[in-house]
A and B are shown apart, each in its own frame.
Chain A
């Protein structure tokens, strides 16, 4: 019970600090936009094959963007050693992770939704009719990215070369998310759309496994 109330209080703090500056949201959205534009130069977006590649590129852009976005997740708790005061104040340190990963998922989802219209226009892929399922796919995928990303950013924040280290540790770990969500999105946006429930289920399993691991081992990540 106190885990949930602590999480809610901390989530309020995460959202409040972010929406005050909106630094993370704007920079991440612009980053995704840049990558999508650059990809459209690297491949010819008008062709039929591009339709197959585009969802993968979208997820690759999200993956890279997330590894930039999560940099500050634990780093900014170091400025005034607020991580220690949080650890002293919460009854379960898992609340710290839970609040951060919910906030990260929300931020990621928000930037993705901002970028979807551009994606649809650049790659000439109509999304409107499949939007609810697409949002579901974006959600389960981004949740997985955020769970693993929050855990890894707690590690990288305590090492040297942390800006470089975070993507190095995180991206290989996210291989399953990239493989499955790209394919599920591609078949969803195909001329004859198919909803791959098995893939969506697999992503949910990924989320569940990493959430359990974080619940079991999270407190050790914050040890001093």
Chain B
């Protein structure tokens, strides 16, 4: 319990610090102005969300292999947190896009594949609500999670190669792209903060799922009497 409170406190402090840094430490971007500052929040959420889904995928694989229900709890927790973070991405994206490009939504590869990813994990959570028996739910949703995750690179590249007309990404987009060193530091700090926040949320959600599963078992036992 104590460790979880510490983790929570650290997560909140880091996020506040990251917000402060992105407004007051990072220099103003020349063309987009103050608006560009949403970038720290937007991209950091995207990275943390992607890593949450990666964790979900690993948990899914481990469940199929080990059949230990704690991997099922980890799977659902990381999928939900990943979904919250990608929701943030999908909301902050248009907020940034409208003033910058004049449109709310562009069908570019990153935004669109994030949206497809979001849909896939909504389906994953929906599937979980539609299977009653816990072992079957855990196994089938884990298998769907595996199929969904291996689909992600295919979605991304299909859109990138056949649909996108947008410039290369600013970060890690090959030669010519790049951030101001201070911007880069603030950005990496935001990424760290979002990851710690994600980790805290996943731990909390995991404990909740564990409790829920125990209550569920007790309820079933009581009903069987």
Q: Do chains A and B touch in the complex (CB under 8 A)?
A: yes
Query: Which chain A residues have a beta carbon within 8 Å of chain B's beta carbons?
Result: 148, 151-152, 155, 158-161, 165, 168-169, 172-173, 175-176, 179-180, 183, 198-199, 202, 205-206, 209-210, 213, 217, 220-221, 223
Tell me what chain A mostly uses at the interface: helix, strand, loop, or mixed. helix
* B155 contacts A168, C-beta separation under 8 Å: no
Closest partner residue, chain A, to B132 (CB atom): A160
* B64 contacts A172, C-beta separation under 8 Å: no
Closest partner residue, chain A, to B140 (CB atom): A155
Q: A159-B130, A213-B150 are in contact. Are A179 and B140 (CB under 8 A)?
A: no
Asked if B123 CB lies within 8 Å of chain A CBs, one says yes
Closest partner residue, chain B, to A173 (CB atom): B151
Q: Given A158-B140, A172-B116, A202-B157, output 5 extra A-B contacts at Cβ < 8 Å.
A: A151-B147, A155-B143, A165-B126, A173-B151, A220-B143
Q: Which 9 A-B pairs have the closest CB atoms?
A: A176-B158, A176-B154, A159-B130, A172-B119, A179-B158, A160-B130, A183-B162, A159-B131, A172-B120
Complex Cα–Cα for A176 and B132 (A)? 31
* A199 contacts B162, C-beta separation under 8 Å: yes
**CB<8 Å pairs between A and B, sample of 20:** A151-B147, A155-B143, A159-B130, A159-B131, A165-B127, A165-B130, A169-B123, A169-B144, A173-B120, A173-B151, A175-B158, A179-B158, A179-B159, A180-B162, A183-B163, A198-B161, A202-B158, A206-B154, A209-B150, A220-B143
State how many angstroms separate the Cβ of B86 from the closest Cβ of chain A. Answer: 13
Asked if B59 CB lies within 8 Å of chain A CBs, one says no
Bits for B2-26, please: 1 = Cβ < 8 Å to A, else 0.
0000000000000000000000000
Asked if B38 CB lies within 8 Å of chain A CBs, one says no
